[in-house]
Amino acid sequence: MPLLIAANWKMHKTGDETADFCTGLRALEERFAWVEILLCPPFTALASARAALKGSSIRLGAQNMHWEQKGAFTGEIAAPMLLSLEVSHVLIGHSERRQLMGETDEAVRRKVRAALQAGLTPLLCVGETEQERRRGHTAAVLRRQLTFALSELDAGTAQNLVVAYEPVWAIGTGVAASAGDADRAAKLVREVTGEILGPAAAGQLRLLYGGSVSAANIGQFVAQPSVDGALVGGASLELEPFVLLINSAREAVGL
């Protein structure tokens, strides 16, 4: 499977800004045949991204969704709405949603299940806080988050799953995890997924590292055989640095 480089734009970019970025990236598309690129703009920019990317192999993701298909949930967005915009992936359980928006493990569980049932690929984010890391609780936190998120899935539907290890202390801080940390976490995520969903699902799982990924450090992550790509925030917001980052990943994997 090719590497997956996913851009999480968080609460950045209007529709017009998104269209400009997508048009610029598309113009370079022939250089990206070796990699899968996923852009996750805000909901309000998905339609512009879709228009600018029509016919392109660059994929579109959303940053969140509700677990119900429709109903009285003011301010929420449902899977069928995302599908109607040709969205293929959805971030679920990003630490900013868990920490700042009060998203619980239970909500994450419902969302992962609903995304898979709808035919969207969930990009489930897991990771420990600085305090949990200092106390040596990293493995226990990852195990708890994964157990909640995956325990009610049917192993067959989970073939489409992507998990991003995103240590909270590394997000937006400029201090990325070490390649060793990412490798250890990736192996643990695969092991726990195997315990819950069986070896076939664990084997097919795509595992990303996220947290202060940049052109300067992406190579050390994607060079790990346990890591299948990266989830990139700040370094994905401007076209040139993002293209540089993609090129660095390519050099690191020798393609």
Which residues are annotated as catalytic? 94, 166
Is the CB of residue 112 less than 8 Å from the CB of residue 146?
A: no
Is the CB of residue 232 less than 8 Å from the CB of residue 7?
A: yes
By beta-carbon proximity to ligand PGA, the closer residue of 39 and 235 is 235
Please give the Cα distance from 45 to 58 (Å, whole number): 15
By beta-carbon proximity to ligand PGA, the closer residue of 196 and 245 is 245
By beta-carbon proximity to ligand PGA, the closer residue of 103 and 166 is 166
Is the CB of residue 153 less than 8 Å from the CB of residue 197?
A: yes
Is the CB of residue 94 less than 8 Å from the CB of residue 63?
A: yes
| Least distance in angstroms from the C-beta of 173 to ligand PGA | 7
3-state per-residue secondary structure call for 76-133: CCCHHHHHCCCCCEEEECCHHHHHHCCCCHHHHHHHHHHHHHHCCEEEEEECCCHHHH
- Distance, C-alpha 189 to centroid of its chain: 14
By beta-carbon proximity to ligand PGA, the closer residue of 201 and 235 is 235
| Least distance in angstroms from the C-beta of 11 to ligand PGA | 12
Q: Which residue is nearest to ligand PGA (CB)?
A: 233
Q: What is the dihedral of CA 33, 37, 184, 195, to 10 degrees?
A: -100
Please give the Cα distance from 171 to 10 (Å, whole number): 12
**In degrees, to the nearest 5, what angle opens at C-alpha 125 toward C-alphas 94 and 227?**
140
| Least distance in angstroms from the C-beta of 12 to ligand PGA | 10
3-state helix, strand, coil in the chain (%, to 5): 50, 15, 35
Please report, as ranges, the residues that interact with ligand PGA according to CB under 6 A: 8, 166, 171-172, 210-213, 231-235
By beta-carbon proximity to ligand PGA, the closer residue of 196 and 228 is 228
| Least distance in angstroms from the C-beta of 72 to ligand PGA | 30
| Least distance in angstroms from the C-beta of 2 to ligand PGA | 20
